[in-house]
Amino acid sequence: MLKKLFGSKKTEKQTEETVFAPLTGKLLQLEEVPDPVFSQKMMGDGMAIEPSEGILVSPVEGEIIQLFHTKHAIGIRSQTGMEILLHIGLETVAMNGEGFEAFVKEGDSVKPGDKLISFDLDLIKEKAASTITPIIITNGDIVESVQKAPVGQVNGGKDKVFDIKVK
């Protein structure tokens, strides 16, 4: 009865989305990452950023679906259903959380620019293989197309790294 009076509100599934830079720094092609797991896209397609400061922010509106106990990596499911892995540095898991502080937990909702994790960039340079941070779409099977931004300087939470369209 109420649906007839007021109409039923159909929610269209979002199929397009902009992914913003989760860090301030230099945007790189994934092939430039000095780790074959990322550069050969074994985990999925994406981009990477060599950070110039130690603040990781959300690149999309979505939900935190995984926060590694070592706080070096975080997974987000966006409004389109795309799942993004943000992996701070290379071989940073061995740091066992040292120099990382998380500001979110699994299940939290986030918007582009929300602070996720802070990290000690100098400590990563000293103790890990690299500061380069991959931004990986881990469920690429739902993605119809990815338009990547040109490489160069980006500002965390403000500049686009890619636009996606899901199937």
Residues with active-site annotation: 87
Return d(Cα 150, Cα 167) in angstroms, integer.
24
| 3-state SS class at 161 | strand
If you write DSSP's letter for every residue of 58-93 in order, what string do you get? Answer: -SSSEEEEEE-TTSSEEEEEETTS-EEEEE-SBSGG
Strands ordered across the beta sheet of 100-102: 55-57, 115-119, 100-102
